[in-house]
Amino acid sequence: MVTVHWQGDLVFRAEGDSGGSLTMGSYPEEGKAPQGPTPIETFLSAIAGCSAIDVLSILEKKRQKVTAYRVEVDGVRVPKGEWPRPFLSITVRHILQGEDIDPSAVARAIELTDEKYCSVIATLRQSPPVQSVFVIEE
């Protein structure tokens, strides 16, 4: 479970069962500093992080020497001004550096995270129903 606490303005701190936390905010107004990634950026980050953990773990087991790695996630959304603005498509780009990295090992690691291990990607593919409820505390 994740609990999100309002910090004032449009800033929220998310805390997970793991004990980790992150701060999210809205796009900053002109002249103001950002308070954290937006929720939609956090969503894309979850895809990248989940996939990256799997890929690196698999490549380590395949004895691939990765020295640098980043994941870029981008998507096409419904145009601005239309609501809601869901993603219509998402691209996950893995960029690696290392010593004699085997392209087939990388391709297989990405295939495994996409099709078997990454729970975030699996959840997107399942399109689970989302239910909202509320409680007013005294």
Q: Which long-range contacts (CB under 8 A, 24 or more apart) does 89-92 make?
A: 90/44, 90/47, 90/124, 92/47, 92/48, 92/51, 92/121
Report the percent of the chain where pLDDT is more than 70: 100
pLDDT one-digit tens code per residue, 75-101: 999 999 999 999 999 999 999 999 999
**Average pLDDT, stretch 106-113?**
98
| 134 found inside a domain | no
pLDDT one-digit tens code per residue, 21-51: 999 999 887 777 888 999 999 999 999 999 9
Residue 55: left (phi > 0), alpha (psi -120 to 50), or beta?
alpha
13 phi/psi in degrees, rounded to 5: -110, 125
Q: Could you give the number of structural domains in the chain?
A: 2
- Full-prediction pTM beyond 0.85? yes
Q: Are 4 and 56 members of one domain? A: no
90 phi/psi in degrees, rounded to 5: -135, 135
The residue range of the domain holding 7 is 1-32
| 137 found inside a domain | no
| 136 found inside a domain | no
> Which residue, among 57, 67, 55, has the nearest Cα to 110 in the 3D structure?
55
